[in-house]
Structure 1
Amino acid sequence: MHDVLYSRHAVSTADGSTVHLGFTSRAAGNLGLHVGDSPAEAVEHRADLEDALLGSSTAVGFIYLEQVHGTVVCDADQVVAERHTRTGGEDAARQLRSAAPVADAAVSCDSRALSVMVADCIPLVFVGEHRVTGSPILGVAHAGRRGLLDGVIEATVQELLARSAENIRVWIGPSICGRCYEVPADMHRESSRLLPEVASTTSWGTPALDLPAGAHAVLQKLPAVTEVSDEFSACTLETEQLFSHRAVAHGREAGRIAGLVWVEKG
């Protein structure tokens, strides 16, 4: 699978584990079961991605969420997640979607492979360390406008802390930028009142929101977060290699990219 990841990074935790994180490109195919022409094809894309990143012998695949622009954080260690398979067709895809946890974030102490899907919203990846063992504590979050304003990032960090995480590092993935995310004037006013850092203007001079700037501001105010990286925060609308909800109106196919985090198996 050539270029399935738009970007990729690896970090070490205090216990010597290697944690990988990445954000997929359009080359990985649409990973969303709720968009595109064929949910069955999306399942195949997920299976291909697991083969490429986790290895064909891994019994448990990435955990996907049924995202609803909320602030619920799923305990991924309680989720039964088998590998995605290429059989079963549309029925299997429907069953997968109905079984997915309804949440917009997930955390794991047990090195579960996590994913979060976006097409213009922000995918965030969190890597912390257990304060006693130094083992990795992982998280992902989906932060659209509503989730960002309602506190999905803060809720995710709180759940990491509840699991004894420290030294929390966060990566802000590709999303629509403040030059492109045009919104109505009343939405601009409401959002800017709740989180002033999101206020922006499009490149053509109309009201806009800068979600990555807002996410960065939220994270900077959280003492438990020791490092915030936006090196992967490309604009989904401006970048052809990425899926973008707003780009569909301009002829780009519908789909979802994913932010991913997983621990290298020894």
Structure 2
Amino acid sequence: MSEILHSHREFAVGKSTVQVGFTNSAAGNLGLHVGENPVAVLRNRKRLEQQLGLGERRFVYLNQVHGTDVFDADISSVATAGAETEAEAERVRDAAPVADAAVTTSGVPLAVMVADCIPVVLVGETDEHQPVLAVAHAGRRGLLDGVLEATVEKMVERGAANIQAWLGPSICGSCYEVPVEMRDESSRSLPAVYAETSWHTPALNLPAGAAAVLESHQAVTRVHHDFADCTLENSGLFSHRRGEPLGRIAGLVWIEK
């Protein structure tokens, strides 16, 4: 497991063992939208599930559009199986729910893909000590528009309290250079994102902004930063800004069976 995961945490929620992980480039590209042969991508996904011991279970992957919609993984079936032809793989890709977050109370394995944006994994607990799991894709637009608030609210609606959140690898505030107008506009909405690169140009610190949003919610009791390495600086992670090799890592949450 350690070869394909950049970071991993295991802990108990009631009688369930919850696993939180973030892949590295050794797991292969997990995104169907970056130009790689889709059959090869689905093989990467299947290999990941096998190495993590999911058996016949499959991660739910999203069609992420930098929005704020939260997919209910408990009431909608999603085609996630492997495919032998490119046409079959494209059908799997097209069937992915259009959303930038997902939530489950029944233990459906969840995945969220990034290559500089923040993969956020959240775990809460009901009064009956049942886990409520969620993932969210927090890029600049989604973060400012409220994707994290929407995700936490959906968890609370399902009875979650004592929510913990893990910020996965993303581009750091010292590397995420943006036009000064974008920094000013973004920081007016969320002051914590205001930053400067290590070479003294305007930047955004998305992890600081995500942490500020999560920590302001009364249902969130802890935000973990120890997995939040910089994707641009770490060659073992995919980074859109670094370019080749193209690909997507994933934030994952699942319950051990």
Check whether the contact 2:104–2:133 (CA below 8 A) recurs between aligned residues. Answer: yes
Distance in 2 (CA, whole Å) between partners of 1:153 and 1:83 is 25
CA deviation after TM superposition for structure 1 residue 59, in Å: 2.6
Distance 1:41 1:23 in 2: 20
Q: Which residue of 2 aligns with 1:8?
A: 8
| Separation in structure 2 between the aligned mates of residue 170 and residue 178 of structure 1, nearest angstrom | 19
SS in 1 for 2:195: strand
Pick from 217, 220, 227 the counterpart of residue 212 of structure 2. Answer: 217
TM superposition shift of 1:212: 0.1
Instruction: Tell me the distance in 1 between the aligned counterparts of 2:53 and 2:100.
Output: 23
Counterpart-to-counterpart distance in 2, 1:49 and 1:6 = 13
Structure 2 CA distance for aligned equivalents of residues 82 and 11 of structure 1 = 29
> What per-residue deviation string (whole Å, max 9, x for no partner) do you get for residues 78-117 of structure 1?
23246532x4221122111110010000000000000000
- How far apart, CA to CA, are the structure 2 residues paired with 1:121 and 1:179? 14
- Alignment-derived partner of residue 106 in structure 1: 102
Structure 1 distance, partners of 2:80, 2:93, is 14
1:80 equivalenced with 2:74 (yes/no): no
Normalised by the length of structure 1, the TM-score is 0.94
In structure 2, C-alpha distance between the alignment counterparts of 1:125 and 1:34, rounded to whole Å: 22
Write the distance in 1 (CA, Å) between the matches of 2:8 and 2:168. 10
Which letter maps to 2:146?
G
Query: Structure 1: how far apart are the matches of 2:147 and 2:121?
Result: 13
1:240-251 matches, within 5 Å, as: 240-248=235-243
Unmatched segments (≥5 aa) in structure 1: none
* Identity score, percent: 56
1:24, 1:253 → 2: CA distance? 15
Q: Which runs of 5+ in 2 are unaligned?
A: none
Aligned residue type for 1:264: E
Deviation at 1:2, TM superposition (A): 6.2
Tell me if the contact between 2:123 and 2:131 (Cα under 8 Å) persists in the aligned partners: yes
Report the residue type matching 1:243 in the other structure. Answer: F
Q: Give the secondary-structure state (helix, strand or coil) at the position aligned to 2:77.
A: coil
Structural mapping, 1:42-61, within 5 Å:
42-55=41-54, 58-61=55-58
The separation in 2 between residues aligned to 1:109 and 1:42, in whole angstroms, is: 28
What displacement does 1:16 show? 1.8
The equivalent of 1:71 in structure 2 is 68
Matched residues in 1 for 2:70 and 2:233: separation? 30
Letter in 1 for 2:153: Q
Q: What residue is the counterpart of 1:256 in the other structure?
A: 248
Deviations 1:154-202 (A, max 9, x none): 0000000000011101000000000100001110110011001000001
Q: 1:129 aligns with which of 125, 132, 135?
A: 125
Q: Quick one: which of 225, 234, 257 aligns to 1:239? A: 234
Determine the structure 2 residue equivalent to 1:166: 161
* Two-structure CA RMSD over aligned residues (Å): 1.2
Partner Cα distance (2:207, 2:15) in 1: 31
Instruction: Give TM-score scaled by structure 2 length.
Output: 0.97
Q: Which runs of 4+ in 1 moved over 4 A?
A: none
Q: Are 2:93 and 1:97 aligned? A: yes
Alignment pair present for 1:37 and 2:29: no
Q: How does 1:190-229 map to 2 (within 5 A)?
A: 190-229=185-224
Q: Distance in 1 between matches of 2:188 and 2:149?
A: 18
